[in-house]
Amino acid sequence: MIGTITNTCTIVVGSLIGAMLKRGIRPEWQRVLFDAMGLASLALGFNAVCRNMPNSKYPVLFIISLSLGRLIGTILRLDERFKNLVNRSSQNQDERQEVPLAQGLSTGILLYCIGTLSIVGPINSALLGDHTFLFTNATLDLVTSAVLAATYGLGMILAAPVLFCWQGSIYLLANLCGNVIPDALLCEIQIVGGTLIVSSGLSLLRICDLKTLNLLPSLFVPAVFFLLLSLI
């Protein structure tokens, strides 16, 4: 778990650094950071999709996953509930100003958790004792968390325990299942995850608000599909 603990700590440190820098950043510069993170999200998302799509054994599965996931998320009103929860706990000095922390957290959680390094890293750590991927991911997240916190504030530190639970769960699952987790499942999860990161980037760039949190259940559809497939 040393890799996951390190990755979690870098997000905490990065968020603290970014929050301190926020005081000296003008509003127009914050908009520049919004745009930069939006473009970075698009690049990371497209890269994940393009890299894994040729290896997909079920090229239609990601479409089904997004459709079912979005339907479930919309019915559960995940985006609305999450934003209401965050905005209630985030008191802005100007009550008329919209608090964008919910958008920042949803973007940060996706960027931290959904990616090759963050998914394969805990598996390598559990099965091979190799923490290289997680240490590399920690370095990237240190920079990303600082930029996000400079834009959205110290509240971005709340993404750290989410990452710990996410990677910790994968680590424990890998320990329990051993080599049973198929590479095909990881491939499908990364395709769906990359699509969600693209959606987050479009929202950051103010091109369109796709309510990315309502798409989160899409990540579980491939796992259910492979589970059912194994029972047939």
**In the 3-class helix/strand/coil scheme, how is 156-214 assigned residue by residue?**
HHHHHHHHHHHHHHHHHHHHHHHHHCCHHHHHHHHHHHHHHHHHHHHHHCCCCCCCHHH
- Is the model's pLDDT at 64 over the cut of 90? yes
**pLDDT tens digits for range 147-194:** 888 878 888 899 999 999 999 998 998 888 766 778 888 889 889 888
Smallest Cα–Cα separation from 149: which of 55, 10, 53?
Answer: 10
Which one-letter amino acid corresponds to residue 200?
A: S
The DSSP secondary-structure symbol of 219 reads G
Amino acid letter, residue 108: G
Contact present, 149 and 156 (Cβ < 8 Å): yes
pTM: 0.73
